Amino acid sequence: MQLTLEHEEQIRRIVGEMKCPWETPCYACDFEALGRARPIGDTGVIDCLEERGSCCSYGLPFGDGILCMCPLRKYLAEHGLA
C-alpha cells in the first residue's frame, strides 16, 4: 500500500507520543530497521519475530512468543504498510 499524506501525518503523531528504546528507531531511518513482525489475524495484536523483542520495552512475553505493543508497528500493520 502507498504511504498517503494522511498516513504520514498519523505516523508523525504516533512517533511524537512514543519513546523508542532503540538507538536508531525504525522511523528515523525510513523504516529500514523495522523489525520483523506479523499481525495475528484481525485481532489488532502483532507477533514480534525479532530475537531482540524479548528485551524491548514494547515486547510482551506471551506463551512461546513475544507480542509487539509498539504503537507505530501496530499502525503500520493495521494499514498494510509493514
Mean pLDDT of the chain: 81
Strands 65-68 and 46-48: antiparallel
Listing from the earlier edge strand, what are the strands of the sheet with 37-39? Answer: 37-39, 46-48, 65-68, 59-62
52 or 70, greater pLDDT: 70
**20-24, 35-39, 44-48, 59-63: which has the minimum mean pLDDT?**
20-24
- Of 1, 9, 22, 16, whose CA–CA distance to 68 is shortest? 22
Whether the pLDDT of residue 51 is over 80: the answer is no
**18-22, 27-31, 41-45: which has the minimum mean pLDDT?**
27-31
Q: If pLDDT is split at 50, 70 and 90, which confidence band does 13 have?
A: very high
* Residue 54 burial (CB count, 10 A): 12
81 or 66, greater pLDDT: 66
